[in-house]
Amino acid sequence: MAIDDLDNRSPLRILESSIHGGLGKGNIGVLASRKGVGKTACLVQLGIDKLFQGKPVIHVSYSSRVDHIINWYEDIYRELARRMNFEPAPDTYGDLVKKRVIMNFNQEGTRTDQVLRSLEAMIEHGRFAAETIIVDGFNFPQSSPDNLTRFKEFAGRLRIELWFSPSLKGPEPLFNERGIPVELLTCLDLIDVLITLRHWNNRVELRLIKDHGYAAASDLRLSLDPTTLLITKP
Amino acid sequence: MSGEISRLRNIGISAHIDSGKTTLTERILFYCHKIHRMHEVKGKDGIGATMDSMELERERGITISSAATNVSWADHTINIIDTPGHVDFTIEVERSLRVLDGAVLVLCAVGGVQSQTITVDRQLKRYKVPSIAFINKLDRAGADPVKVGNELREKLGRNAVLMQLPIGLEDKHQGIIDLVAMEAVYFEGTQGELIRRRSIPPELMGNAAQARQEMLDAVSTFSDELTEAVLEGRETPELIIKAARSGTIAHELTPVLMGSAYKNKGVQLLLDAIVRFLPDPSEVENTAQDLDHGKKEIVLRSDSNAETVALAFKIEEGPYGQLTYIRVYQGTVRKGAELMNSRTRKILRVGRLVRMHADSMEDIEEAPAGDIAALFGVDCHSGDTFVRPGLNLALSSIHVPEPVISLAISAADKKSADRMGKALRRFSKEDPTFRTSIDSESRQIIIQGMGELHLDVYVERMRREYKVAVNTGKPQVAYRESIALRREFDYTHKKQTGGAGQFGRVIGWIEPSPEKPYEFVDEVRGGRIPKEFIPACDKGFQAALKKGRLIGFPITGVKVILTDGAAHEVDSSELAFQAAAKGAFWQAYAKAKPYVLEPIMKVSVEGPAEFIGNVFASITQRRGIIVSSAEDEQFARVDAEVPLSEMFGYSTVLRSLTQGKAEFTMEFLTYARVPAQIAEELIARYQEKVEKEHTQ
């Protein structure tokens, strides 16, 4: 089986069709949940999915060390291959991650201006034609709302899509009656796709809360496998 | 030496070039020696016998000239280990840093944190060396120790806390306020050797009280006992020192001392601080690899009664032969005892065991755990581990990477040639990644190493230390050739030129071997090739692998399977089968889609974050792949994989791209296939060269 098949059978195709063909260039997607529910695993799967399609990915992290992220990718890749009974050639993974760059920022020390400057430097000077940037661990609900505006402007100008994964830290209730995280209400206009991860019947369910301009279908019929942390169909 | 491990310190003095490291080291040796002698006058026996009166006069001139110098201060023994200032990707720097238990980071009170300080700081952090800082040159115009303290926090991210304040600065610098004892300290006598403690001048009291409070706030986070004591207003110097010591050893605090080594001020207090804040060998965890159990890391015990484990960290060529500096990590090294070199598995007997002082050498009977000593007349390489015979442990990784770059060198005259030979022998002993050989065709001397800078350093050392007039060629990347396909061979070597003929026929195939560089499988049945000629076939294949036909570099990753052949009763010989194997290999090689491999280096660039775009660009332009970057407000680090052939001159380029503020390290990562277009150029160039040689 080739990488193409692996890609075609990915549950992420369901996500893609649910959100009308994917996040799209210039747009901001958000995966929100409490800490420790599985956001990083989801983000890494989004990243690997792009890599399978031969598209370069920048993985921005604020919290983890670089080697942790490298391990995440390896683990998820291995689980994906196992689930699909896919025996990859020895060089496959090495070739795959050549299209991935990890950029780590110290949250206290780095301002959004610097992050954006470095991202642009990577794309322009580093000639790294990323279409997707994954931003792990940036808690914009806790920082100034301007920051997300800047990211949005950046995404539009450089024609890239940006995925964020804020940790929700507020007091209960975390979500309002429409399932929108209360902390994100003020910046909802800037978010094009919003997915929440919530514990439900002993699983972690992915719920589509905002889908571009469309009325969200809410039930994505996707959840996280509790042992492998892979996104799975029911 | 008191023999008690808690009274031992192994330290390095790390500094920016102009911060006064040499003067400070001289002063340290001077004061220690003074005190040392004073102790002896008071009736301490033993060691004093080795000193003679002449040495008193030589005191002023002493400098550190050995890899480790042993001094005494306040009933403690301090080994000062020389930290090499050159390139940081050699194994040697790693070894020097690994024998340290603590370091003094020296800064200039005027210049503060400069780019080289950042380099030194990064090395100390990389090897997790607990450190204290000394702000030197308080007598200089523009000295501002408080500003430098802030820079330690802001630029180096250290939790730096001032343990002292100056009394006067620049030409009015008189002494130091000790914030722990809350006293003014003056250094009197012709050479500052008389320490006078007085009350703090009233005009400085306000500042001192505030600075002490800040110091207590920072230090008390490492001790609940101190926190309580501070709240109740009954903190003592002992409690403060204890807390600051735990913070320092945990790499979470950097106590800051200050003074002027040149003006003989503050050095004794720095020595006190070394003893107070830096760890003794038992407080630092050291590990070794268990070679019997898959290099499993095991923690060594700083116990003199345990089984001996020691590291040869430096080799010096002296008038009496090789002097090997060792650090004992576990057990005791005794004169007359047997040790085993775990690399060579050879047993050696410890002959003369010595300790190096600033101005003399002392013969000792034993060196206990934690100590540093030197051995005479031991044949070993730098980095070798000595263990009790029977143990199978190694302190540093035994795996030495293959050199990836070579350089042809020649001596300009006969005298230089002799000295060059001597230098090369010494360098290869000191550094296992540095190799020398003679090219069989050009008869040139070839030196090989891990990078351009690595070889530069040795060429420069040949010029400076050995006064060799040396000419160098262009550095050459160690390419390799390999094959992509399985291909059959059936080759007959036949020669009939009067007398005995030559005959040998070999049949089989070659195929890619991803795991091993070379593999030979004999599947010949029924004696079609007589048994005695099989090794000759193997030899013939190996001979062919030495020089590929694409670009003339060694061929790697080939498996040869020999299945059949033929021999002649009279005309077959070892020589004939060797020739047949060679012929067969070239027959198959040409069809097996041979390709060119090049060394890929793991490159790390570190520098101010503002230049990150330039760094990205410089890597991409060199066919590099950026693996990751890490940034904080000020600094950035970029990790990349770049072909070695593209890294020539990178240090110059990087310097100009970053105003000299960034630095890089690189090490060999792997061999990877050269892109087709570049391979074609290499092949064309080689074929042209071969043709030219042919026509000549």
Domains within chain A, CATH numbers bracketed? 3-232 (3.40.50.300)
Task: Answer yes or no: is B416 within a domain.
Answer: yes
Encoded tokens for B178: 């000790």
The DSSP H or E segment spanning B430 is: helix B414-430
Contact B448, B434 (CB under 8 A): yes
Of the three residues B575, B592, B609, the one that is the final residue of a domain is B592
Is residue B579 located within the same domain as residue B609? no
Verify whether the Cβ–Cβ distance A126 to B614 is below 8 Å: no
Range in A138-152, B14-28, B178-192, B270-284 with the lowest mean pLDDT: B14-28
Residues of chain B with pLDDT > 70: what percent?
A: 90
pLDDT band at B93 (very low <50, low <70, confident <90, very high): low
Return the H-helix or E-strand segment holding B21.
helix B21-41
Q: Are B147 and B190 in contact (CB under 8 A)?
A: no
- Name which of B611, B618, B629 to mutate to probe chain A: the one with the most chain A Cβ atoms within 10 A of its Cβ: B629
- Cis peptide bond N-terminal to A173, omega within 30: yes
Higher local confidence (pLDDT), A177 or A226: A177
Determine, yes or no, domain membership for B693. no
CA B110 → CA A127, B268, B331, B557, B662, distances in Å? Answer: 41, 22, 45, 57, 22
Neighbours of A173 (CB within 10 A): 9
Is the pLDDT score of B140 beyond 60? yes
Q: What distance in Å separates residue B608's CA from the closest CA in chain A? A: 12
B155 and B13 co-located in one domain: yes
Mean of the per-residue pLDDT values for chain A? Answer: 84
CA closest to A58 among chain B residues: B628
Judged against a pLDDT cut of 50, whether residue B64 lies above it is answered with no
Residue given tokens 């009763």 in the structure block: B569
From A104, A111, A125, residue closest to B630, measured CB to CB:
A104
Q: Which residues contact B501 (CB under 8 A, 6 or more apart)?
A: B494, B495, B568, B570, B571
* CA atoms within a 13 Å half-sphere pointing along the CA-CB vector of B674: 25
The answer to whether residues B351 and B205 belong to one domain is no
State the sign of the Cα–Cα–Cα–Cα dihedral B169, B172, B175, B178.
negative
> CA–CA separation, B385 vs B329, rounded Å?
10
> Shortest Cα distance from B611 to chain A (angstroms)?
9
| Residues of chain B contacting A124 with CB distance shorter than 8 Å | 613
Q: Do A110 and B634 touch (CB under 8 A)?
A: no
Cβ–Cβ of A127/B620 closer than 8 Å?
A: yes
Cα B624 off chain centre by: 26
Residue B399 lies in a domain: no
Residue where a domain stops, chosen among B476, B501, B520? B476
Q: Whole-angstrom Cα distance, residue B236 to residue B431?
A: 49
- Please say if the pLDDT value at position A223 is more than 60: yes
Considering the domain boundaries, does residue B691 fall inside one? no
**Interface-testing mutation among A110, A119, A133, A138, with chain B (most B C-beta atoms within 10 A):** A110
Residues of B whose CB is below 8 A from A98: 625
Q: Please list every residue in chain A whose beta carbon sits closer than 8 Å to the beta carbon of residue B612.
A: 118, 121
Instruction: Report the C-alpha gap between B187 and A174 in whole angstroms.
Output: 65
pLDDT higher than 70, residue B55 = no
A101-123: per-residue pLDDT in tens? 999 887 665 688 889 999 999 99
The whole-number pLDDT of residue B56 equals 31
pLDDT of residue B611: 92
By CA distance, what is A127's nearest residue in B?
A: B620
Q: Which residues pair with B172 in a beta bridge?
A: none
Per DSSP bridges, beta strands A100-105 and B625-631 are parallel
Which of the four pLDDT bands, split at 50, 70 and 90, describes residue A99? very high
Encoded tokens for B172: 């009015």
Position B101 in a domain: yes
Cα gap B542→B581, rounded to integer Å: 9
| Beta-carbon separation of A128 and B632 below 8 A | no
B172: nearest Cα among B249, B263, B39: B263
A93 min Cα distance to partner chain B (Å)? 14
Rounded distance between C-alpha atoms, residue A120 and residue A113, angstroms: 11
Query: What distance in Å separates the CA atoms of residue B162 and residue B273, rounded to the nearest whole number?
Result: 12
CB contacts, 8 Å: B639 with chain A? 66
In this prediction the ipTM stands at 0.88
Which of B553, B577, B592 is the last residue before a domain boundary?
A: B592
How many residues does the structure list for chain A? 234
Q: Which of A15-19, A102-106, B286-290 is most confident? A: A102-106
Of B625, B634, B636, which is closest to A98 when you measure between CB atoms? B625
Contacts of A127 in chain B (CB under 8 A): 617, 620
With respect to residue B467, please indicate whether it lies within any of the assigned structural domains: yes
Kindly determine whether residue B633 and residue A121, on different chains, have CB atoms separated by under 8 Å: no
Determine the average pLDDT of the residues in A220-225. 79
Structure tokens at B282: 């038992």
Cα gap B524→B580, rounded to integer Å: 15
Contact across the interface for B617 and A125, Cβ inside 8 Å:
yes
Q: Which of residues 140-199 of A touch B (CB under 8 A)?
A: none
Q: Which residue has the tokens 């000062």?
A: B80
For B624, the token pair is 């590099």
* Ramachandran bin of B609, using left for φ above 0, alpha for ψ from -120 to 50, beta for the remaining angles: alpha
Range of the domain at B17: 5-283
What distances in angstroms separate CA B689 from CA A86, B12, B443, B544, B598, one per listed residue?
48, 51, 17, 19, 20
- Tokens 């990389």 belong to B126
Q: Which amino acid is at B272?
A: D
**Could you read off the pLDDT of B493-544 as tens digits, one per residue?**
998 776 778 999 999 999 999 878 899 999 999 889 999 999 999 999 999 9
CA B569 to each of CA B94, B503, B528, B529: distance values in angstroms, whole numbers, following the listed order:
60, 9, 12, 11
- Which residues 504-523 of B are in CB contact (within 8 Å) with A? 514
B308 with B267, same domain: the answer is no
- Say how many CB pairs under 8 Å bridge A and B: 71
The residue among B574, B565, B420, B545 whose CA lies nearest residue B488 is B565
The amino acid present at B671, given as its one-letter code, is Y
Sign of CA dihedral A117, A121, A124, A130: negative
State mean pLDDT over B404-416: 88
Q: B628 vs A101: CB contact, 8 Å cut-off?
A: yes
Taking only the tens place, the pLDDT of each residue in A143-165 is: 777 888 999 999 999 999 999 99
pLDDT for A217 equals 63
What confidence tens digit (pLDDT) does each residue in B638-654 have?
Answer: 999 999 999 988 888 99
Closest chain B residue to A121, measured at CA: B613
User: B628 vs A121: CB contact, 8 Å cut-off?
Assistant: no
The answer to whether the CB of B44 falls within 8 A of the CB of B85 is: no
CB contact under 8 A, B636 and A104: no
Query: Is B536 found in the same domain as B491?
Result: yes
Place B182 in a pLDDT band, splitting at 50, 70 and 90: very high
To test the contact with chain B by mutation, choose from A51, A93, A102 the residue with the greatest count of B C-beta atoms within 10 A, namely: A102
Domain membership flag for residue B522: yes
CA B257/CA B164 separation, integer angstroms: 6
Backbone angles phi, psi at B134, to 5 degrees: -125, 120
Neighbours of B31 (CB within 10 A): 22
| Residues of A with Cβ-Cβ distance to B609 under 8 angstroms | 114, 118
Q: Which pLDDT value is given to residue B293?
A: 78
Q: What is the pLDDT of residue B641?
A: 95
Residue type, A130: A
- Model confidence over B199-225: pLDDT tens digits? 999 999 999 999 999 999 999 999 989
Task: Tell me: do B187 and B154 sit in the same domain.
Answer: yes
Task: Tell me the chain A residues in contact with residue B620 when contact means C-beta distances shorter than 8 Å.
Answer: 125-128
Same domain, B321 and B431: no
Q: Are strands B663-673 and B594-608 parallel, antiparallel or unpaired?
A: antiparallel
Give me the torsion for CA of B364, B365, B370, B376, rounded to 10°.
60
Nearest to B337, CA basis, from B354, B327, B325, B350: B350
- The answer to whether the CB atoms of B616 and A122 lie below 8 A apart is yes
Query: What's the gap in Å between the CA of B543 and the closest CA on chain A?
Result: 30
Residues B165 and B295 in one domain: no
**Surface-to-core class of residue B307, CB atoms within 10 Å of its CB (0-12 exposed, 13-18 middle, 19+ buried):** middle
- pLDDT confidence bin for B359, thresholds 50/70/90: low
pLDDT reading at A93 higher than 70: yes
Q: Are residues B386 and B487 in the same domain?
A: no
* Close Cβ partners of A131 (under 8 Å, ≥ 6 residues apart): A25, A50, A55, A56, A159, A160, A161
Give the bridge partners for B312, in sequence order.
B326
**In this structure, what token pair is assigned to residue B652?**
């110059």
CATH classification at residue B465: 3.30.70.870
Q: Counting every residue, how long is chain B?
A: 696
Q: Please report, for the domain that includes residue B581, its CATH number.
A: 3.30.230.10
For the beta carbon of residue A221, count every other beta carbon within 10 angstroms.
15
pLDDT band for B91, please (50, 70, 90 cuts): low
Kindly compute the dihedral angle of the four CA atoms of residues B72, B74, B78, B80, in this order, to the nearest 10 degrees: -80
Mean pLDDT of B254-270: 92
Query: Per the CB < 8 Å rule, is B626 touching A111?
Result: no
* Domain count for chain B: 5
Which of B603, B605, B632, B669 is the best mutation test for A, with the most CBs of A within 10 A?
A: B632
Cβ atoms of residues B278 and B102 within 8 Å: yes
Q: Which pairs count as long-range contacts for B202-211, CB under 8 Å and 24+ apart, including other chains? A: B204/B165, B204/B167, B204/B177, B207/B165, B208/B165, B208/B177, B208/B179, B208/B182, B211/B162, B211/B165, B211/B177, B211/B179
Instruction: State whether B131 and B226 are in the same domain.
Output: yes
Question: Is residue A126 within 8 angstroms of chain B, CB to CB?
Answer: yes
Residue of B nearest to A110 (CA): B633
- Residue B632: list chain A partners with CB under 8 A: 105-106, 109-110
* B530 lies in the same domain as B562: yes
What is the Cα Rg of chain B in Å? Answer: 31
Which of A90, A104, A126 has its CB closest to that of B626? A126
Choose between B297 and B581: higher pLDDT: B581
Q: CB-based contact (8 Å) between B626 and chain A?
A: yes
Residue B350 lies in a domain: yes
- What span, in angstroms and rounded, lies between the C-alpha atoms of A73 and A7? 16
Residue with tokens 């030559």: B502
The verdict on B96 and B232 lying in the same domain is yes
